[in-house]
Amino acid sequence: MTLTYLLPLRRDRVAEGAEGELARYLAALTAHVEVLIVDGSPPAIFARHAVLFADLATHVAPHPSDRCTNGKAWAVLTGLRRARHDTVVIADDDVRWDAQTLTRAAAALSGCDVLVPANYFAPMTWHAAWDTGRILLNRASAHDWPGTLVLRRTALSATPRYDGDVLFENCELVRTVIASGGSVHIAPDLLVARRPPTVRHFLGQRPRQAYDDLAQPYRLAAMLAIIPASLLGGRRAVAAAAVVSVVAAEAGRRRAGGRRVFPWYTSLCAPAWLCERGLLSWGALWLRVSRRGVRYGDNRLLRAATPVKRLRARRRGPA
């Protein structure tokens, strides 16, 4: 396959088991695609990775000229310049493609500039099931944002550099392509596995994921309404809303072959996830209004993503 697999990587500590599993996964990919790792890890861990991945991939550091506040976006910007092929798969280090799904993705990209697949967790730990409630509700209403995208590198080369100083970098990248006239294809049937995080990392993701909703005002308004509506509506209203959320999640589970990868009980996790998001959305709003922003790595990010309208105006430049 004539595509580049771009892995933005950063590890702040050595994780023996995780590194070995990732190396085995990349070894399986090298027979099919170019693998490019852009590694923003501290020097000692970067050197360790250079040895571990030496025979598996091109391993480089983010280029200083691409520096931005979001470390993943920094790595992606460097990787897009270094990639040899026009078709690029950007994937977090917990995403697990296989050769068959990559072939399908490359074929689907022939009719668009950006392809948005769907993720599912494997194995399904308790906290993965909890977060799957979010995935299913998103699948029912529109689409979930995965930890991987497939795009034409030339679709971005014709645009202003996408903004790496936002939290929701995947959304920003897709909006940048749209603002420049590119096309996006949502593929809920292109199901790509994802390893669940540790419980500690899962808990750390909660505020950041809630902050992402600032990029989607209507969704944010709906999430902010959950707690007030529950307090005003009483127990019956809460029970009814819980039932509706489970039914909606089940619709998302059944969409586009989802039953193959989403266990039946994950639909039951939708009410719990909604309660979590209803609470944390108020915290995210306070962080934005107070201009504190949300912590991401070593930095704090104030903006979630840029509206398409503003990106189009930026592209046109001053009248």
Among the listed residues 215, 178, 216, the one whose alpha carbon sits nearest the alpha carbon of residue 312: 178
- What would the pLDDT profile of 138-193 be if each residue is shown by its tens digit? 999 999 999 999 999 988 876 667 899 999 999 999 999 999 899 999 999 999 99
Segment 10-51, tens digit of pLDDT: 998 877 677 889 999 999 999 899 999 999 999 999 999 999
Residue in 41, 28, 40, 30 with CA at minimum distance from that of residue 1: 30
Model confidence pLDDT, tens digit, residues 48-82: 999 999 999 999 999 999 999 999 999 999 999 99
Q: Are 139 and 258 in contact (CB under 8 A)?
A: yes
What is the rounded distance in angstroms from the CA atom of residue 266 to the CA atom of residue 238? 19
pTM of the model: 0.95
Tell me the CA distances in angstroms from 70 to 8, 57, 159, 303, one per residue in order.
11, 23, 19, 11
d(CA 289, CA 279): 16
3-state SS assignment for residue 113: coil
What six digits make up the tokens of 58?
């091109």
